[in-house]
Amino acid sequence: MTFHTTRRTLITSLVLTSLVALTACASSPSAEPGLEPGPGQESSAVPHGFVAGATEADEAQVRLSYLSADSGAITMIDPLTGEEGFSTAVPGATSLSHDGRYIFVRTTPNAPLKMIDTGVWTRAHGDHSHFYSAAAHTVETDSPLPSGSARGDGNKVAIFDESTGTTSVLLREALDKGDVHVALSIPGTPHTGLAVPYKGHVLVTGAPGGDQLPTTVSVFDNAGASESLTNAACPSLRGHAITSYGVLFGCSDGVLIVSDDTGSLTAAKIPYPSTHPGTNPGERIESFGHRPGSSELTALAGTAGLWHLDAAAQKIQFIKSPEPLVTSTTAGNGTPALAVGTSGTVYAFNTKTIAVEAQADLLPATKTGQTPSLVVDNNRAYLSHPGTAKIYELDYRDHLRVARTFPTSTTPAQLVETGL
């Protein structure tokens, strides 16, 4: 009951905010490029981020999508109702990534990438945001998409093919209209790397070492031309995150942050703390967990604990855990760092005192090949495990209280949240 009362209050607040925002938009229209009004229409009639066929809402239209551990099907849940909706089978699906709206489905190695439009997205517009929903569907293409892993920033999607080192760029403006094609191709060297769109550029890893991991990051403009970026060394690069302060990359000697604070892209290294230098190869950062857009992140520190990273302060701190952890994330802004231990216990760590402030035994012990999924937004965290047919909704501000439990038609191998 507390949750629903809080949600009604939030909705009322958002409605009032949206009315103010719509007034501001009408007086100062700013449609996305390629979404200009048609002949005879007023420009103020096209809300920021609108796409034909979409409905604007008063709050973010969040969807949870999970990959079945049994069938490879991808199924969506509306957290407002807790009910399953759109579902589609993707043979050979192995992992999911997303850009806030589109889910990118990787299948077998060297197989074309698949995409699902979850039909929900948010567009920031000055001091407010616009929220949209449309019908979810599988994205059809005239020709197969490139193979590889995909990342997106809401304006571009970059697909990196490790077997060739080629980066293929799709434009969201075209993609939102159903036009799926590669707008730009950037050649490279085969390696275990990635490409990340950021602020009108594409950041691409390169110069692989003997372990086939990249050692540096390069910048390319909209035409595919290389731009200068100094201090971009990142030995044995693994993992990335797009934050409000820049793009972060995990390196063996710290975290590389690429930002545009000065109007042009610059790179700087955030070192591991001197009290726990992270020199043990088993404790280095390999991937990040965070709320989309947040400047605070977490990463596993091997079996010893986790790293808490404040991108705004460019500071990393080590948090020791009671047991080895298998996944972690945080919503930032003073909320705890969340993590799941190998025993199935969920922990909330206070990032100021670096102590455990809450814990809950919710999941079965992790077996080989069974990694829980933990995603977080401004209000709740969502937790799933390949061994259970359910998704937990946790109130991380209330000592990991289980707010709701969503039954699933099969066991989730991976969980993602879109619409934010």
pLDDT for the residue numbered 276: 83
Q: What are the Cα distances from residue 31, in Å, to 43, 302, 310, 387?
A: 8, 46, 33, 45
Note the pLDDT tens digit of each residue in 254-313: 999 999 987 789 999 999 998 887 667 789 999 999 998 899 999 999 999 999 999 999
Question: Cα dihedral angle (18, 24, 27, 33), rounded to 10 degrees?
Answer: -80
Angle, CA 270 vertex, CA 265 and CA 274 arms, to 5°: 165
pLDDT for the residue numbered 277: 74
User: Cα–Cα distance between 22 and 25 in angstroms, integer?
Assistant: 5
> Please, which pLDDT band fits residue 2 given cuts at 50, 70 and 90?
very low
Sheet-wide strand order for 305-310 = 296-301, 305-310, 315-320
Note the pLDDT tens digit of each residue in 142-171: 889 999 999 999 999 999 999 999 999 999
User: Cα–Cα distance between 116 and 118 in angstroms, integer?
Assistant: 6
> Please, which pLDDT band fits residue 48 given cuts at 50, 70 and 90?
low
pLDDT for the residue numbered 395: 98
pLDDT for the residue numbered 110: 82
Note the pLDDT tens digit of each residue in 3-24: 344 444 444 444 444 444 444 4
The mean of the pLDDT values for the chain is 88
Q: 139: closest CA among 99, 186, 196?
A: 99
pLDDT for the residue numbered 50: 65
User: Cα–Cα distance between 315 and 267 in angstroms, integer?
Assistant: 15
Mean pLDDT of 392-419: 97
pLDDT for the residue numbered 47: 60
Sheet-wide strand order for 325-330 = 325-330, 337-341, 345-349, 356-361
pLDDT for the residue numbered 11: 41
User: How deeply is 145 buried, as exposed, middle or buried, from its count of CB atoms within 10 A (0-12, 13-18, 19+)?
Assistant: buried
Question: Do 214 and 252 meet the contact criterion of CB atoms below 8 Å apart?
Answer: no
pLDDT above 90 covers what percent of the chain? 75
Q: Cα-flanking dihedrals φ and ψ of residue 22, to 5°? A: -65, -40
pLDDT for the residue numbered 405: 97
pLDDT for the residue numbered 32: 38
The partner residues of 254 in beta bridges, in order of sequence, read 251
User: Cα–Cα distance between 393 and 408 in angstroms, integer?
Assistant: 13
Query: In this model, does residue 340 exceed pLDDT 60?
Result: yes
Weakest mean pLDDT among 25-29, 79-83, 292-296, 410-414? 25-29
User: Cα–Cα distance between 333 and 397 in angstroms, integer?
Assistant: 11
Give the global pTM.
0.87
Angle, CA 334 vertex, CA 331 and CA 339 arms, to 5°: 50
Note the pLDDT tens digit of each residue in 92-121: 999 999 999 999 999 987 899 999 999 999
